[in-house]
Structure 1
Amino acid sequence: MEAQRAVTDQSSAIVRGGHNFYGVPLGIVMMDTPIPRLPGDVGNATTWPFPVHFRVVKGAGVRRVIHKLPSRELLEPFIEAAQELDRAGVSVIATSGGYLALFQRELQASVRAMLLSSSLLQVPWVASLLPAGRRVGILTMEARSLSPGHLAAVGVTPEMLAGMVGMEEVAGYTHDVYLNARSEFEPARIQAELEDATRLLMSRHPDVGAIVCECTNFPPFAHAIQAVAQVPVYDLVTLVTWTVQAHQRRPFGPG
């Protein structure tokens, strides 16, 4: 951040560098998958209202990340990618795999930048804002693989949660597309299944006061989820956006 400020602060007598490029506040560590990335997906650069730098972890597909964690062998390439982004000078580093919540502590310890492993980091904060009798619901790619360990690693306790629904519990098209890394899909079918998953979540758990989407592929459909649930919907886009904005405060006008 200091170097980025220096190159824009024309009043400074000395400009200091140290990086090959500047003005990119966000770095994203990406899983290796050919799945289409719609606007709103974390892997689509148009999602972000600020510049972003991507690093792909070769061989780390969705199925492997969901089913092979915890694995130090799998973690190390993610640490290396995060460190590369850190050296490049970004202020915030996110990942495209919500299940990496399991390694929030290890990933954060490896870099100086803020590290957002998963949208699930928002659950404790969101839970603290809800009125009495309301709790957080989670929509995830595969509920059976999102363990108490994943949740505890980002500060989520059972008392915060109403429940969760995974895409394996509905028709199965979405689950197949992402876990089997299909290179094409029908967005309307994905949206319909997410709407069904939301109805299932709300019918099972009427005390849901807000939804946090674990999967980074869900944000393009967050508006549809909200239309069904009629509650606030959080995802990695909401988490990253307010975190980056906290690093880029600007003066207000004279009023």
Structure 2
Amino acid sequence: MSDIGVILLDSDLYRPVGDVGNPDTFAFPVRYHRATGAYAPHVVERGASGLLDIFVAAGRTLVGQGARALSTSCGFLSIYQRQIADATGATVATSALLQAPLLLRMLPSDARLGVVTANAASLSDAHLEAAGVTAGERPRIELIGLEETAHFYPTVVLGQGRLDPTRAAPEVVAAATEAVARDPGIRAFLLECANLPPYAASIRSATGLPVWDISTMLTWVHQGLSG
């Protein structure tokens, strides 16, 4: 039995351990269902416009299979956080971004939270607001985008070729370390993209800062459900 159900985007992406779509990432069973027709570029670059019904249907399927809590494989789906929760009746945590309000309260008031995202140009204030970040808190968030990476973005979002974690890791770590060099006020990282947790340990090692992501959130959700 799986208490957690994850709605996957319609993608054949290679998912190493750490990725939300790899069941070996978690120490507990996770059930998956693909949202057919929900492609990554549409979700990331077009705000998932017109795709709500697809995600609701996938969520209802997972609930029907016994899932008590739902998540997704893309942090940009925070935009539909309230709608999916209301439509499925489940406990829903669409995005790692839901941790942002808590982390901002945990950190000193003058500290900033670095949000590493697949595409900073597309991650809007509406996505953050849907995750609970207030307008007053928005200045404390530094978006760190990966849309200009040579390997990570083309493979993960655009589906061009097979993801090679040994090529993606240096790109992700470089984005994090360069962000801290530009803004020493960053005191922690939150990984928006559900494909980024495989690189969380490398970011911690390179920067000495704490890192949270979709796996830390779902582990917390599971503990609440199952003890």
TM-score, normalising length: structure 1? 0.84
1:35 paired residue number: 13
Give the aligned CA root-mean-square deviation in angstroms.
Answer: 1.4
d(CA) in 2 for partners of 1:36 and 1:212?
A: 22
1:124 to 89, 95, 101: 101
Letter of the 2:78 partner, please give it. A
Moved more, 207-216 or 179-188: 179-188
Q: Is contact 1:164-1:201 (8 Å) kept? A: no
Any idea what SS the aligned residue of 2:67 has?
Answer: coil
Q: Is the 8 A contact 2:72 2:94 kept in 1?
A: yes
Structure of greater relative contact order (alpha carbons < 8 Å, 6+ residues apart):
2
Q: Which has the larger radius of gyration?
A: 1
Shift of 1:182: 3.4
Between the aligned residues of both structures, percent identity stands at 33
**Aligned positions, number:** 225
Contact 2:156 2:163 (C-alpha < 8 Å) held by counterparts: no
Distance 1:238 1:183 in 2: 28
Moved more, 193-202 or 149-158: 149-158
Residue 92 (structure 1) aligns with: 69
CA distance in 2, matches of 1:122, 1:102: 14
Provide the residue aligned with 2:54 in structure 1. Answer: 77
Give the equivalent residue in structure 1 for 2:142: 163
Structure 1: segments with no counterpart, 5+ residues: 1-22, 250-255
* Contact 2:42–2:48 (CA under 8 A) maintained in structure 1: no
Structural mapping, 1:61-76, within 5 Å = 61-71=39-49, 73-76=50-53
**1:244 aligned to 2:200?**
no
Question: Residue 162 of structure 1 contacts residue 207 of structure 1 at CA under 8 Å; is this kept in 2?
Answer: no
Shift of 1:66: 0.9
Asked whether 1:213 is paired with 2:188, we answer no
* Separation in structure 1 between the aligned mates of residue 90 and residue 161 of structure 2, nearest angstrom: 32
Q: 1:46 aligns with which of 1, 4, 24?
A: 24
Q: Structure 1 runs of 4+ off > 4 angstroms?
A: none
- 1:119-158 equivalence runs, <5 A: 119-158=96-135
Within 5 Å, which residues of 2 pair with 1:157-236?
A: 157-158=134-135, 159=137, 161-169=140-148, 171-236=149-214
Alpha-carbon offset, residue 204 of structure 1: 2.2
Change over 3 Å in CA distance of 1:174–1:82 after alignment to 2: same
Moved more, 83-92 or 40-49: 83-92
Q: SS at 1:89's partner residue?
A: coil
- In the TM superposition, what is the alpha-carbon distance from 1:112 to its structure 2 partner? 2.2
Tell me by how many angstroms 1:92 deviates.
1.3
Q: Is the 8 A contact 1:165 1:200 kept in 2?
A: no
Q: Does the residue aligned with 2:58 lie in a helix, a strand or coil?
A: helix
